[in-house]
């Protein structure tokens, strides 16, 4: 949602004076190093953050169980280890499979493993669709700013962008899920697959696809403006550049000027944006996952927060950090490849 502001992060550095060869390797090296340092910081910070949280984990765990005070005291003793010892265990393997979630009594890594695929599938598809359609709209609108297409598309995408996710999702659910205004309810109200359908079979895959239509449409519609507006803005900028006049002067058709010259340059910020948003794919979309009962990570985070389920939160938090840092790194490295100015 707030990706629009973050485009600036990936903006190429101003053109620097030419240095010797090997600078590309150095640039890459420094970027990787920066990512690793950030990650190390997050790992340490993460450990202490969750130990600063108030609350008695044993009290939370034993509430609702038939345990007497003696048993609870024994349990508390079991977990009561010195903080440095806990830190060492944690640093050795932050994703220790031996740590159980307090709410689900299941290894945290197993829980995350179960939930990560639905989220990747849903958010990944939505972002791919939104970026493809968004870029296409952005190109058409930005090439002829002020045209009817521009006005309609900009108005529509902005309207969709401003809609609350849960509201749009609920509307789609009622109209196309349950059926209203004479439209039959073609799609399921929630879930990822019908009970009893084998997801390994082609029929299972289609069933998942069928369940994905509504949540994916909701997300795509909402993310659309992210890409189309950035693409449109940067294309409008490119149109003013003098090299386009030269291209026209060479006698190229308008389509060719757009395709070969303007669009490749205007794509840069959009590509950054796409990669940055891929980092957020993992975090899931809590609201849409809630409306369509999609069993993803966003929902798991919400459930973990309600506990609060500290071991689970710690692992999720770390995973999100890694995904965002990783996606940032990829975006930066990609820039080195696609924008020659960065290499100079």
Partner 1 sequence: MIRRMIASVAAATIVAVPAAAVPQAQAADPVVFTVGMLADVDSLNPFTGILAESYEIFQLQYATLMSASSADFTPTPALAESWEVSADGKTWTYTLQPDLLWSDGVPLTANDVVYTFQRILDGRYEQRNFGNYVRNITSVTATDDRTVVMTTKEPSPIMERLAVYILPEHVWSSIDGKAVKSFANEPAEGEITVGSGPFLVVERRTGQFIRMVANDNYFKGRPNVDELVFRIYNNPDALGQALVKGEIDFASGLTADVFSTLEGQEGITTYAGDYSGFNELAFNLGAATSDGKAIGDGNPHMQDQRVRLAISHAIDRQQLVDKILDGYGTPGSTVIPPLYSTLHIDPGTQGYDPALSNQILDDAGYAMGPDGVRVGPDGVPMRYRLFVRSDSDSSVKSGEYFKSYLAAIGIEAEIKPVDENALFEIIGRGEFDMFEWGWVVEPDPDYQLSTFTCAKRSYEDGGEIYADLSDSFFCDEAYDELYAKQAVTTDQAARADIVKQMQQILYDDVAYVVTFYYDNLEAYRSDRFTGFVGQPEGTGSLTFQYGTYTYENVAPISDEGGTTDEPTAAPSPGATDEAGNETAAEETSGGSNTGLIIGLVIAALVIVGLVIVLVRMRSKSQEGDKE
Residue 141 or 329 with smaller CB distance to partner 1: 141
Longest dimension (CA), the chain: 89
Residue 91 or 245 with smaller CB distance to partner 1: 245
Contact yes or no for 134/226 (Cβ under 8 A): yes
Using CB under 8 A, count the residues that bind partner 1: 71
Q: Which of residues 10-39 bind partner 1 (CB under 8 A)?
A: none
Q: Which of residues 299-318 bind partner 1 (CB under 8 A)?
A: 299-300, 306-308
Q: How far is the CB of 280 from partner 1 (least distance, A)?
A: 20
What gap in Å lies between CA 131 and CA 8, rounded to an integer?
Answer: 18
Q: How far is the CB of 133 from partner 1 (least distance, A)?
A: 9
What gap in Å lies between CA 42 and CA 44, rounded to an integer?
Answer: 5
- List CB contacts of 51: < 8 A, sequence separation 6 or more: 83, 86
User: Which of 73, 79, 152, 337 is in the footprint of partner 1 by CB under 8 A?
Assistant: 73
Write out the DSSP string of 9-38.
HHSPPPP-----TTHHHHHHHHHHHHHHHH
Q: Which of residues 91-150 bind partner 1 (CB under 8 A)?
A: 100, 103-107, 111, 114-115, 132, 135-136
Contact yes or no for 305/250 (Cβ under 8 A): no
Q: Which of residues 215-274 bind partner 1 (CB under 8 A)?
A: 253-255
Q: How far is the CB of 65 from partner 1 (least distance, A)?
A: 5
Q: Which of residues 159-178 bind partner 1 (CB under 8 A)?
A: 170, 173-174, 177-178
Question: Applying CB under 8 A, does 64 fall inside the site for partner 1?
Answer: yes
Comparing CA positions, the residue from 297, 152, 168 lying closest to residue 220 is 168
């Amino acid at each position: 949602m707030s990706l629009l502001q973050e485009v600036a992060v990936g903006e190429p550095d101003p053109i620097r004076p030419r240095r010797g060869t090997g600078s590309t390797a150095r640039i890459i090296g420094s970027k990787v190093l920066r990512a690793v340092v950030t990650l190390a910081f997050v790992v340490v910070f993460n450990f202490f953050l969750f130990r600063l949280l108030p609350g008695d984990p044993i009290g939370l765990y034993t509430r609702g169980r038939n345990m007497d005070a003696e048993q609870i005291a024994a349990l508390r003793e079991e977990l009561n280890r010195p903080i440095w010892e806990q830190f060492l265990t944690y640093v050795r393997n932050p994703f220790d499979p031996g740590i159980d979630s307090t709410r689900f009594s299941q290894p945290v890594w197993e829980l995350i493993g179960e939930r990560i695929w639905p989220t990747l599938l849903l958010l990944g598809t939505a972002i791919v669709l939104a970026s493809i359609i968004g870029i296409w709209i952005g190109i058409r609108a930005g090439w002829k700013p002020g045209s009817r297409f521009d006005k309609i598309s900009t108005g529509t995408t902005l309207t969709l962008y401003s809609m609350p996710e849960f509201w749009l999702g609920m509307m789609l659910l009622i109209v196309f899920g349950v059926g209203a205004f004479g439209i039959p309810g073609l799609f399921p109200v929630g879930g990822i697959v019908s009970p009893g359908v084998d997801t390994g079979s082609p029929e299972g895959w289609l069933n998942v696809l069928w369940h994905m239509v509504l949540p994916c449409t909701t997300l795509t519609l909402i993310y659309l403006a992210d890409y189309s507006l950035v693409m449109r803005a940067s294309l409008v900028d490119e149109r003013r550049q003098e090299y386009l006049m030269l291209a026209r002067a060479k006698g190229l058709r308008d389509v060719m000027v757009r395709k070969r010259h303007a669009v490749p340059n205007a794509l840069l910020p959009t590509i950054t944006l796409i990669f940055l948003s891929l980092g957020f794919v993992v975090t899931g979309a809590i609201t849409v996952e809630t409306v369509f009962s999609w069993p993803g990570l966003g929902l798991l985070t919400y459930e973990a927060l309600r506990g609060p389920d500290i071991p689970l939160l710690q692992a999720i938090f770390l995973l999100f950090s890694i995904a965002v840092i990783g996606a940032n790194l990829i975006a930066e490295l990609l820039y080195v490849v696609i924008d020659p100015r960065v290499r100079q």
